[in-house]
Amino acid sequence: MSPQIFVRGYLRASTDDQDANRAREVLKRFADEYDARIAAWYTENASGAQADRSELLRLLADSGPGDVLLIEQVDRLTRLARADWESLKVAIQVAGVRIVALDLPTSHAAMRATGGEDFTARMLDAVNDMLLDMLAAVARKDYEDRRRRQSEGIEKARARGAYKGRPANNALHMKVAEIRAKGFSIRKTAELAGCSPSTVQRVLALSKVTGF
């Protein structure tokens, strides 16, 4: 592997009860196959349909031209609507980052790329851009289909009188409120409460509505 390439591993799970670090060893083994080391990790629990993901944004802010953003699957990076995906692509291009996804074999060549002006590298980038768009569209459709099925299931359960909704974690809500009241930032509050920043934001938004 070219010494100029700096690999950044991005790990994401949708909810707090899922293990975002599940794919860490898989990514490590993949990097090992290219004699590469993942020099930085960015881990978060947030929906792939959410554009404002703190760790992904931090990764892009930290990145320099030629860095590799390594993911297990394209849907770990995006389940975004088209407009949000286009915005994210622009941010990735501005940062000069090259995406390598284990489920996109043509992207693996970036682990050995030696020059952004090389004809072969540029051709591979063009092919990968097209395939990324396709996989991003598939990931978004899968997300929308699951949401639709979930909504239909809830409506059927409501019609039977069987749906009671997801119980609120009042203990966590109280903990977040207490920590936040002491003046800690959202990120620090999440760290101290043992949850994700997105959960802290949801709790704070809920408290404004309910007065909790």
Distance CA 193, CA 187 (A): 10
How many angstroms separate the CA atoms of 210 and 206, rounded? 6
* CA atoms within a 13 Å half-sphere pointing along the CA-CB vector of 113: 28
Any idea what DSSP says for residue 11? E
19: nearest Cα among 72, 70, 59: 72
Helix (H, G, I), strand (E, B) or coil at 183: coil
CA distance 27 to 7: 11
Judge contact between 79 and 47, C-beta under 8 A: yes
d(CA 155, CA 168): 20
Task: Give the Cβ contact number of residue 206 at 10 Å.
Answer: 14
- 14 catalytic residue (yes or no): yes
The catalytically annotated residue of 14, 63, 196, 198 is 14
Active site (catalytic) residues: 14
